[in-house]
Amino acid sequence: MQSYLLFRLYGPMAAWGDTAVGEFRPSHDHPTRTATLGLVAAALGIRRDQEEKLLSLDRSINVAIRLDAPGEVLRDYHTTQVPPTQRKVTHYTRQDELNADKLHTILSSRDYRCDCAATIALGCKQNSVFSLNEISEALARPRLQLYLGRKSCPLSLPLAAKIIEANGLAEAFDQYPDPQSALDTLTHGLWGFGGLIKEKVTRLYWDSDETDLSPEMTYPRRDRLRSRRRWQFDERIEYMATQSATED
């Protein structure tokens, strides 16, 4: 038997950053490794400038994802005013930026996923510096604000973290409920909401070849942290398999 920590992610909007070129900011249809571990790091109280702790977390955890609902794409034409970069000038708040003498306007197109739901499974590697119990307690009482990829994307359901003993990832996911029931309970009778839009198959993604799952496809992903300070990420292999979706 092996221990896994499972929790759910749902919000009306999410952004799972893909490789960005120029003014276009795309999004994957499922949470990336860096987004998932960034949320865990925030819960643990690890800040962006704490490079060693972020790298220790990245080297300690395997991540698997069950995509319960991919959501729909929303593209936002985004305008942002920012001051020019100046040596020895630090803007500590957004108000400081807007009070600058000169402001530049940055135009970009940003993709979001609407009504995206996913279940995350974390497993500790050997010699991990973080335990699943420690992470579970942090997710229940996060020290920093949690969001789904961007600050404009808050969570809309409790994470409901749960440690599960199972013989593999497939069994662990089977023991964790689909977020559809929780969402239907919260939105029952409100605004005529009909629940999540689900696919005929459920997709599973994971980042380690030491699992009980048999991959149907593999993908190169550049979302393994190398340096948060310099925004550098290494390439990894992501594995994918499908299973029949559970009928509610």
Confirm whether 42 is domain-assigned.
yes
pLDDT number for residue 248? 46
In the DSSP assignment, the letter for residue 21 is B
Query: Where does residue 30 rank: exposed (0-12), middle (13-18), buried (19+ CB within 10 A)?
Result: buried
Confirm whether 12 is domain-assigned.
yes
SS3 content of the chain, % helix, strand, coil (to 5): 20, 40, 40
In the DSSP assignment, the letter for residue 192 is T
Average pLDDT taken over every residue of the chain: 88
Confidence of residue 111 (pLDDT cuts 50, 70, 90): very high
Residue 28 has pLDDT above 60, yes or no: yes
Buried b (16+ CB within 10 A) or exposed e, 123-133: bbeeebebebe
Confirm whether 111 is domain-assigned.
no
Confirm whether 14 is domain-assigned.
yes
Which amino acid would we find at residue 158? P
Domain extent for 53: 2-68+116-244
116 - beta bridge partners? 11
CATH code: domain of residue 198: 3.30.70.2660
Quick one: which of 186, 167, 23 has its CA closest to 109? 23
Residue 228 has pLDDT above 90, yes or no: no
Confirm whether 94 is domain-assigned.
no
Residue 209 has pLDDT above 80, yes or no: no
Confidence of residue 2 (pLDDT cuts 50, 70, 90): very high
Quick one: which of 185, 149, 163 has its CA closest to 37? 149
Quick one: which of 219, 185, 181 has its CA closest to 203? 219
* Mean pLDDT of all residues in 103-124: 92
Q: How many domains does the chain have?
A: 1
As given in the structure block, the two tokens for residue 136 are: 């579970």
Confirm whether 75 is domain-assigned.
no
The reported pTM is 0.86
Region for residue 37 given its phi and psi (left: phi exceeds 0; alpha: psi -120 to 50; beta: otherwise): alpha
